[in-house]
Chain A
Amino acid sequence: MELSFYLVQLLNAIQYGFLLFLVASGLTLLFGIMGIINLAHGSFYMIGAYLAYWLTGVTGNLWLGILLGLPIALLVGYLVERFAISFLYQRDHLYQVLLTFAMILIFNELQQILWGTDVHGVAIPEILAGSIPLTENQSYPIYRLFISAVCIAIACGMSWVIQKTRLGMMIRAGASNREMVQSLGIDVNRLFALVFSCGVALAAFAGMLASPVDSVYPGMGENVLIISFVVVVIGGTGSIKGAFVGAMLIGLVSTFGKVLLPEMASIMVYALMAAILLWRPQGLFGRAA
């Protein structure tokens, strides 16, 4: 009983950590490669969840919903990068904070106009609706395992793209020395637009995956946003590996914190971040500035 309870918590922690990783990996790439601090990233998570809710309602199928939603998310990312973010690459972080903060206000308002303020749920697809019994009275929903599996696949795919492909080479080079990449004749503007759109799509995808597990509600992106920032800062900006380790750490600390020390759970995550920054101001896997 005791053991299986902790097993369930552990699985939850890992699944939460994976979702955080999807959001945070986009954020950390934006930081590392483009030098952009994007507060609107949580809004993209929210947009993903609402797209999943809306398109699933229209098509009657979550898979179709996700399939149709992803291009929309990519397009949103592209437009935001072209018409707002791209003006701020040379500017102080302050303006990026301000601009993307204002974007949160705008996206929240758009969400209310389009979908209202009600809390919605998305049904789990039938194939994945069951749960696996662990003991007599403990079981684990298959869909949550499915989320973890998909995230593992994406993480592997991402690490393959970044380590093995030409695009990944450009991304890595861009993260370590932007000017040099530019002078080697790589179209940085296109690279940035691509990276930003992909980051947005990843965040939106995380929102879509999470929508059947959590409900879909206004402001859902903001909690994810702040926690993802914590993940990025713990891991070190620009480091995918760091984002992964950070996401898992936060997943574990916040899930077990809620179980063991419920009134301190929210604080513990931030305390962990402060402690890590005291020890390593550039994050676990970040390069010293």
Chain B
Amino acid sequence: MSALSRFLPLSALLVLLLFPLLGSEYYVGLLSRIIILAIFAMSLDLLIGYTGLVSFGHAAFFGIGGYALAIAFQDASVIHLWQALPLSLAAAALAALLVGWISIRTSGIYFIMITLAFAQMFFYYFFESPSYGGDDGIFLFLKPVLMIGSEDILKLEQENNFYYFALSCLVAGYLLLTMILRAPFGKVITAIKANEHRVCALGYSVNRYKLVSFVIAGTLAGLAGFLEGAHSGYINPSYMSWHESGIAIAIVVLGGMGTLYGPVVGAFIVVLLQDFLPSLTEHWQLLFGSIIISVALFLPRGATSLLPRILALLRREKSEDASSEEDPLEKTDG
């Protein structure tokens, strides 16, 4: 299993790296969307799957990452990546710090609702502010570029460039979260999920750990929002709506929470479903909703939890074959 668990992500990464060579721009764009959502969902998984905080307002930080890019560089003649990216991350981190500082005092249903309430506040703020385009949002006519001197190194305008940039963000986010979770900090937050009172009794400042986790997750969501803004050249309040927060939760659970690859798989499933189901029927939300319901009822650990089960089944069949071969021998012995 451990060989397999190392082999699978690497081969998946290899496929993703080689994919643009197939040359279908539509699918590269689609894959970029998947990667953006995967980063977003992975950040939410840090809260839901590891820290035990069910945030129902995570889309707010996604939106803020995008809006920070759009507002700051609306009229710029060139968008420097090294300016735009840190700005988006800082904006999302600051918002997460503020929201988290208040929200983590509550727990359970109250936490779900207060995170939702904050997301709604941000939503309405942008929805009703004429200076930021209201419900039409903001268009960006330029894409970020990375320049050294006057030389363009990386233009995100080209679909393939953007794709590789997003992919490296996903890998970086994945590695960063893996490191965080292996560090003592990660042990503490997973312990908080398992038993908050015990961690508290051990002398850890539970709220501080929760807050740091919340800010990390918010910042990563801001990264995803930045990528979305840079990819579509467009940001509007609906990116922050509670529907998006709900979809993000669906992605995490569909893929498998409490694993970092789960949300990535979930993003694939959800985007591909959203791409494929409308071709079946006009009323595809009916199917989409039913799929989410069945997962919530019957597959609480998500799609990735199926893999070990399938492997175990295969292995058992193999060993059964082996034992049935051994049987006649035993009989002759007897």
Query: Are the chains A and B members of one assembly?
Result: yes
Residues on A lying within 8 angstroms of B by beta carbon are: 31, 37, 39, 84, 87-88, 91-95, 97-99, 101-106, 108-110, 112-113, 226, 229-230, 232-233, 237, 263, 266-267, 270-271, 273-274, 277-278, 281-283, 289
Q: Would you call the interface of chain A mostly helix, strand, loop, or mixed?
A: helix
Interface presence of B125 (CB below 8 A): yes
Find out whether the CB atom of A102 lies under 8 angstroms from the CB atom of B250. yes
Tell whether, in the assembled complex, residue A95 and residue B110 are in contact, meaning their CB atoms are under 8 Å apart. Answer: no
Do residues A281 and B105 form an inter-chain contact, with CB atoms below 8 A?
Answer: yes
**Do residues B107 and A270 form an inter-chain contact, with CB atoms below 8 A?**
no
Q: Cα distance A114–B106 when bound, in Å? A: 41
Q: Which residues of B contact A110 (CB under 8 A)?
A: 286
Interchain CB contact (< 8 A) of A266 among B124, B250, B293: B124
Please classify the interface of chain B as helix (H, G, I), strand (E, B), loop, or mixed, using the class held by over half of its residues. helix
* A/B interface sample: 5 pairs, CB < 8 A: A84-B297, A102-B293, A105-B286, A109-B286, A229-B116
Q: Does B313 contact A (CB under 8 A)?
A: no
A91 CA / B56 CA spacing, docked (Å): 17
Report how far A37 CA is from B118 CA in the complex, Å.
18
Q: Do B109 and A31 touch (CB < 8 A)?
A: yes
Q: Which 7 A-B pairs have the closest CB atoms?
A: A102-B292, A105-B289, A106-B289, A266-B124, A102-B289, A99-B296, A101-B246
Give chain B interface residues in 110-140, CB to chain A under 8 Å.
110, 112-114, 116-118, 120-121, 124-125, 127-129
A277 engages B289 (CB within 8 Å): no
Per the CB 8 Å criterion, the residue count for chain B at the interface is 41
Contact pattern, B 281-299, Cβ under 8 Å of A = 1, otherwise 0: 0010110111011011100
Q: Is the CB of A270 within 8 A of B124?
A: yes
Contact B283 A109 (CB under 8 A): yes
Given the contacts A98-B250, A101-B249, A102-B292, A112 and B102 also touching, CB distance less than 8 Å: no
Known contacts A109-B289, A237-B109; is A102 also within 8 Å of B296 by CB?
A: yes
- For the complex formed, measure the closest distance between the CB of B225 and the CB atoms of chain A, giving whole angstroms: 20
Q: Is the CB of A278 within 8 A of B128?
A: no
Q: Would A108 and B285 be within 8 Å (CB), given that A93-B54, A270-B117, A278-B105 are in contact? A: yes
Q: Which residues of B contact A277 (CB under 8 A)?
A: 102, 105-106, 110, 114
Contact: B128 with A266, CB < 8 Å? yes
CA distance A97 to B249 in the complex (A): 9
Please determine whether B54 and A274 come into contact, CB atoms closer than 8 angstroms: no
Chain B residues with Cβ below 8 Å from A103 are 289, 293
Docked pose: A185 CA to B172 CA in angstroms: 56
Which of chain B's residues have a CB closer than 8 A to the CB of A88? 296-297
Bound: A105/B129 CA distance, A: 28
A281 to B114, CA, bound (A): 10
Docked CA distance A125–B107 (Å): 46
Q: How far is the CA of A98 from the CA of B117 in the complex (A)?
A: 18
Q: In the complex, what residues of A have CB within 8 A of residue B121's CB?
A: 267, 270-271, 274
B window 90-115: CB within 8 A of A = 102, 105-110, 112-114
